[in-house]
Amino acid sequence: MKKKSIILLFVISLFFVCFNIVKAYKQEQNIKTELRNKWGIDIDKEDKLKKMKISRPQWHGEHNKFIWFEVSNSENILNYIEVNNLYLHKMSSNIKKRIIEIEDDLNIEKEDRIDFNSDYYYTKKIKHNFNLSSEKKTDILYIILIKGNNNDRYNTNIFLVEDLNVLDLDKSF
């Protein structure tokens, strides 16, 4: 009897582990598909999702996403830079400030935040949305690719920060 209960417990725990692995894989694939469809960004199959946080929508629809992928090989790095028109230049202080605000709002841990002291490539994509009222809303995607050196192992991370449904007050009246 005791042996059967141990085996049953083992089978149940194995089922939960497999279920969580499949769920995480499916979530990663859904994120990659959404990025491809909405923003035209192809994340390679080998690139691994490290962290994703999404805020709850506010009363006017604004919400944020913080997505972090670890790039698997050096060929992908060059591809991301070329395809997404990433530039090796410093972004404006207003954009840095906004990204830091989003990280604060989402309670991103210090070690997971974007390190602007490293070499990085950056671009910003914008989509304008018009609804039935006179309001004009904007979706903004910041793409930041950071090349770094971690314990003698070269690693590269791509951060995607979505600032969604930002109300454009200048154009809405």
Q: How many other CB atoms are there within 10 angstroms of residue 153's CB atom? A: 7
**pLDDT above 50 (res 94):** yes
Q: How many residues does the chain have?
A: 173
Euclidean distance between CA atoms 134 and 11, whole angstroms: 57
Structural domain boundaries, residue 51: 44-167
Q: Is the dihedral of CA 122, 169, 134, 162 positive or negative?
A: positive
pTM above 0.75, yes or no: no
**What is the structure's pLDDT at 171?**
42
Q: Cβ contacts of residue 162 below 8 Å, gap of 6+? A: 64, 65, 67, 139, 140, 141, 142
Euclidean distance between CA atoms 116 and 163, whole angstroms: 19
**pLDDT above 50 (res 152):** no
**What is the structure's pLDDT at 155?**
74
Number of structural domains found in the chain: 1
96-138 residue pLDDT tens? 888 888 898 888 888 888 888 877 888 888 887 766 566 667 8
44-64 residue pLDDT tens? 777 888 888 888 776 666 778
**Segment 68-88 mean pLDDT:** 76
**pLDDT above 50 (res 28):** yes
Is residue 52 in some structural domain? yes
Cα 139 → chain centroid: 14
Is residue 7 in some structural domain? no
Euclidean distance between CA atoms 110 and 108, whole angstroms: 6
What percentage of the chain reaches a pLDDT higher than 90? 0
**pLDDT above 50 (res 169):** no
Is residue 25 in some structural domain? no
**pLDDT above 80 (res 20):** no
Is residue 87 in some structural domain? yes
Q: How many other CB atoms are there within 10 angstroms of residue 167's CB atom? A: 14
**Alpha helices in the chain, H assignment, sequence order:** 2-39, 74-83, 93-105
**What are the distances in angstroms from CA 105 to CA 64, 73, 85, 155, 163?**
9, 31, 28, 27, 12
Euclidean distance between CA atoms 25 and 19, whole angstroms: 10
The better pLDDT of the pair 165, 150 is held by 165
Is residue 173 in some structural domain? no
- Does residue 92 sit in helix, strand or coil? coil
What is the chain's mean pLDDT, rounded?
77
Is residue 2 in some structural domain? no
**What is the structure's pLDDT at 164?**
77
Q: Which two tokens stand for residue 161?
A: 């920060």
Is residue 31 in some structural domain? no
**pLDDT above 50 (res 172):** no
Is residue 132 in some structural domain? yes
